[in-house]
């Protein structure tokens, strides 16, 4: 029997911890994770015609302009910035200490352990509770609410059945201006610490999730390079077409993984009990655990401020409908090399 995990010491330690916690479980028998199978999850529609989130159409012809209080920046300004690779933090521990303070203590270890548990269940997603401190997001949220400016985008075939999508504010878009050409740059500035933090968490998660498990496979020495290919904030409401993002996979082949960060309930523009969606849906659901969609399990999470969902390539998921209040989330699509 070859070593179960041969890549990082971190992961080996996490495995020991989980082994202790799981007691009698025979890991030798149950825990072989087949990377090939993992990578072969179909991105075809396994869920009753709900569809992929295809990113195809750049549509910004309506003549919409930046609100007048925005600095005069154009798409070209944005592209110049996006050409710079992500800062390359491989773990939260490498972040500047000022940014480490916005992250939950010991989250690195928690992610390593969480990945081991998920691998035992052959799953390729992980949700970490309060990975970002809710108090930090409470401080950031008024800026997000002030500058939130949903851009009109049209997706080919619709975003999980919604053709005209105008509930997301794009901070970074793909080259060529997809899915819109007017990213909200002021908000990108406000969110830069949060984005650095999530980049480091995502890189750490991705590295653990893709650590080599197969006999004889060489250990990867070079660092993972991640790039945020798209990044947006969505505000869901109980209005038709604004309640949910139904079952989909991110990026239709162009995206290697995603992070979804739950943001606070908007207590700034209305009374909390009115804005809250507590008891009215709004969590995340994943379909995972088997390469064959018909055999996948459905897993629900009641996500709240600061929780992060890490999602591997082509894992089916859904932002569940709300019937009351407003629900905010930040979403980042990554390319990994």
Question: By CB under 6 A, what part of segment 173-202 binds ligand AKG?
Answer: none
Query: Residue 216, CB half-sphere, CA atoms under 13 Å: how many?
Result: 0
The partner in contact with residue 247, picked from Fe ion, ligand AKG, none with C-beta cut-offs of 5 to 8 angstroms by kind, is none
336 contacts 206 by C-beta, under 8 angstroms: yes
User: Should residue 308 be labelled a site residue for ligand AKG when binding is judged by CB under 6 A?
Assistant: no
Binding mask 110-149 for ligand AKG (x = CB under 6 A): ----------------------------------------
The partner in contact with residue 207, picked from ligand AKG, Fe ion, none with C-beta cut-offs of 5 to 8 angstroms by kind, is none
145 contacts 206 by C-beta, under 8 angstroms: no
- Cα–Cα dist 17/1, whole Å: 20
Which positions lie near Fe ion, rule CB under 5 A?
250
96 contacts 275 by C-beta, under 8 angstroms: no
- Give me the residue whose beta carbon is nearest to Fe ion: 250
Task: Report, in Å, the least distance between residue 194 CB and ligand AKG.
Answer: 15
- Structure-token pair, residue 287: 């379909």
Task: Report, in Å, the least distance between residue 232 CB and ligand AKG.
Answer: 7
Among 172, 250, 256, 312, binds ligand AKG (CB under 6 A): 250
The partner in contact with residue 284, picked from ligand AKG, Fe ion, none with C-beta cut-offs of 5 to 8 angstroms by kind, is ligand AKG
Give the nearer residue to ligand AKG in terms of CB position, either 14 or 322.
322
SS3 20: helix
Task: Report, in Å, the least distance between residue 175 CB and ligand AKG.
Answer: 19
Nearest to 337 by CA among 223, 260, 230, 175: 223
- Cα–Cα dist 249/147, whole Å: 28
Whose structure tokens read 């990554």?
A: 334
Q: Which residues pair with 159 in a beta bridge?
A: 162
Among 115, 184, 201, 245, binds ligand AKG (CB under 6 A): 245
Question: By CB under 6 A, what part of segment 260-279 binds ligand AKG?
Answer: 260
SS3 192: helix
Task: Report, in Å, the least distance between residue 289 CB and Fe ion.
Answer: 18
Binding mask 35-54 for ligand AKG (x = CB under 6 A): ------------------x-
Among 151, 317, 322, 334, binds ligand AKG (CB under 6 A): 317
Whose structure tokens read 């999530």?
A: 198
- Cα–Cα dist 277/283, whole Å: 10
Give the nearer residue to ligand AKG in terms of CB position, either 188 or 331.
331
The helix, strand and coil proportions of the chain, stated in percent and rounded to the nearest 5, come to 30, 25, 45
333 contacts 250 by C-beta, under 8 angstroms: yes
User: Should residue 235 be labelled a site residue for ligand AKG when binding is judged by CB under 6 A?
Assistant: no
* β-sheet with 284-288: strand ranges across: 245-248, 316-319, 284-288, 297-301
Give the nearer residue to ligand AKG in terms of CB position, either 51 or 89.
51
Give the nearer residue to ligand AKG in terms of CB position, either 4 or 331.
331
Binding site for ligand AKG (CB under 6 A): 53, 234, 245, 250, 260, 284, 317, 319, 329, 331
């Amino acid at each position: 029997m070859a070593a179960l995990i041969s890549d990082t010491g971190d992961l080996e330690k996490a495995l020991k911890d989980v082994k202790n916690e799981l007691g009698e479980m025979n890991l030798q028998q149950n825990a072989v994770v087949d990377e090939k199978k993992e990578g072969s999850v179909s991105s075809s529609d396994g869920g009753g015609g709900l569809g992929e989130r295809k990113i195809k159409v750049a549509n910004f012809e309506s003549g919409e302009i930046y609100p007048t209080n925005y600095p005069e920046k154009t798409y070209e300004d944005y592209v110049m910035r996006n050409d710079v690779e992500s800062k390359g933090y491989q773990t939260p521990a490498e972040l500047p200490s000022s940014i480490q303070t916005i992250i939950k203590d010991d989250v690195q270890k928690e992610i390593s352990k969480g990945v081991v548990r998920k691998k035992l269940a052959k799953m390729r997603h992980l949700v970490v509770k309060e990975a970002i401190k809710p108090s930090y997001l409470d401080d950031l949220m008024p800026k997000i609410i002030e500058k939130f400016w949903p851009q009109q985008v049209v997706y080919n075939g619709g975003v999980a059945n919604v053709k005209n999508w105008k509930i997301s504010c794009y901070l970074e878009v793909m080259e060529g201006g997809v899915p819109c050409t007017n990213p909200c740059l002021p908000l990108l500035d406000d969110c830069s610490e949060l984005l650095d933090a999530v980049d480091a968490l995502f890189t750490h998660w991705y590295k653990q999730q893709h650590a080599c498990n197969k006999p004889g496979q060489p250990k990867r020495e070079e660092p993972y390079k991640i790039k945020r290919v798209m990044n947006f904030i969505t505000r869901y409401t109980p209005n038709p077409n604004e309640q949910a993002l139904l079952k989909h996979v991110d990026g239709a082949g162009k995206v290697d993984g995603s992070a979804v960060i739950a943001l606070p309930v908007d207590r700034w523009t209305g009374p909390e009990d009115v804005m809250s969606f507590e008891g009215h849906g709004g969590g995340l659901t994943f379909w995972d655990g088997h390469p064959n969609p018909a055999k996948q399990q459905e897993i629900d999470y009641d996500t709240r401020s600061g929780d992060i969902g890490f999602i591997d390539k082509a894992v089916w998921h859904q932002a569940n409908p709300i019937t009351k209040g407003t629900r905010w989330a930040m979403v980042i699509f990554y390319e990994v090399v």
